[in-house]
């Protein structure tokens, strides 16, 4: 039986900070990331892919708002927009990955699942929005949009501007995770929990209803990885390793590190909220719940089995 890995695509796998967000740019970025997945497949992994949607869902929300204002086409709620981006981004990944597999004469089916993720309607995240979505704004633009729409904004920790933030509740359950596991263990590549999944709440009668939020894609992917009993969990980001004392003369690269050690660094505030801290928490959760190891790295490092920051028990 092949090893099973869940791979969470970071935002840079789809759209980079200095890009306008054209279809051609996204195709090129996705293709480059998928080229690197071949290395995992050659290492004997079956793969499940999760992905983010922060820039895309923000842009879709802006498109809906503009359409309503200019053309009287009713804007749809955020959870509906999350479902739109699940489909569009999965299409990009599925098509480019298929092209890459054909290039290397690898025969695998690729399936995309529109995925709902159950959250708790009483999650305190709804009172404290933290998840960035959409483009970067100047402080003046953010203030204007906050006054106009009642949106919340926070400054980007890397100094790139201000972004809208929304509630990011914790995933409670992944709908249809059993089917994801079965398909993956049969050798199919499954794209799921896109954008962290479509957030839904469940009432006492089992009725489900969408709710406006964006679930952290790393935490949703880690939750899925635990449920399907994946061997390894990969988070692909824009740096090859996790660092402490980041961007200082004392910067230190983390390679293989235990849960207890990285938890100390997390408690010391070494990892920025909205950036590396959620990724570290997702990895800790996976390993604490039976995963072999969680790896945070840049996609080009997948060819090197010793690369990246590995979090182990």
b (16+ CB within 10 A) / e for 100-127:
bbeeeeeeeebebbbbbbbbeeebebbe
What rounded mean pLDDT belongs to the chain?
94
Catalytic residue list contains 131: yes
Contact status, residue 99 vs residue 154, Cβ threshold 8 Å: no
Catalytic residue among 131, 196, 274, 308: 131
Catalytic residue among 12, 53, 59, 241: 12
Catalytic residue list contains 109: no
Render pLDDT for 254-291 as a digit per residue (tens, 0 to 9).
999 999 999 999 999 999 887 899 999 999 999 999 99
Catalytic residue list contains 279: yes
pLDDT band at 37 (very low <50, low <70, confident <90, very high): very high
* pLDDT, mean of residues 49-68: 90
Catalytic residue among 11, 52, 54, 291: 11
* pLDDT, mean of residues 235-262: 95
Domains along the sequence of the chain with CATH: 3-118+175-312 (3.40.1160.10)
Tell me how far apart the 2 most distant CA atoms of the chain are, in Å: 57
pLDDT band at 144 (very low <50, low <70, confident <90, very high): very high
Catalytic residue among 53, 279, 291, 310: 279
Catalytic residue among 29, 58, 217, 310: 217
Render pLDDT for 288-310 as a digit per residue (tens, 0 to 9).
999 999 999 999 999 888 889 99
Catalytic residue list contains 11: yes
User: How far apart are the C-alpha atoms of 219 and 281, rounded to whole Å?
Assistant: 8
H or E segment and range at residue 33: helix 23-42
Which has more confidence, 30 or 12? 30
Catalytic residue list contains 108: no
């Amino acid at each position: 039986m092949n090893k099973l890995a869940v791979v969470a695509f970071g935002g840079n796998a789809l759209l980079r900070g200095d890009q306008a967000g054209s279809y051609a740019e996204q195709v090129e970025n996705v293709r480059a990331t998928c080229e690197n997945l071949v290395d995992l497949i050659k290492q004997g992994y079956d793969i499940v892919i999760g992905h983010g949607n922060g820039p895309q869902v923000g842009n879709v929300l802006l498109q809906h708002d503009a359409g309503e204002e200019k053309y009287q086409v009713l804007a749809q709620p955020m959870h509906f927009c999350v479902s739109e981006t699940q489909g569009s981004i999965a299409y990009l990944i599925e098509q480019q990955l298929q092209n890459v597999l054909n290039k290397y004469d690898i025969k695998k089916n690729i399936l995309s699942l529109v995925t709902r993720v159950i959250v708790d309607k009483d999650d305190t995240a709804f009172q404290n929005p933290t998840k960035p979505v959409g483009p970067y704004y100047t402080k003046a633009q953010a203030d204007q949009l906050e006054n106009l729409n009642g949106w919340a904004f926070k400054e980007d920790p890397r100094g790139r501007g201000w972004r809208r933030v929304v509630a990011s509740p914790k995933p409670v359950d992944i709908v249809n995770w059993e089917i994801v596991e079965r398909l993956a263990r049969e050798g199919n590549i499954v794209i799921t929990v896109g954008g962290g999944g479509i957030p839904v709440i469940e009432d006492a009668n089992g009725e489900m209803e969408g709710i406006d939020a964006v679930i952290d894609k790393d935490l949703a992917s880690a939750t899925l990885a635990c449920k399907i009993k994946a061997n390894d969990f990969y988070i692909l980001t824009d740096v090859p390793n996790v660092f402490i004392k980041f961007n200082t003369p004392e910067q230190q690269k983390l390679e293989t590190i235990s849960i207890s050690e990285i938890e100390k660094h997390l408690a010391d505030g070494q990892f920025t909220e909205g950036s590396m801290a959620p990724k570290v928490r997702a990895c800790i959760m996976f390993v604490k719940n039976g995963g072999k190891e969680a790896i945070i790295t840049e996609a080009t490092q997948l060819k090197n089995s010793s690369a990246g920051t590995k979090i182990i028990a």
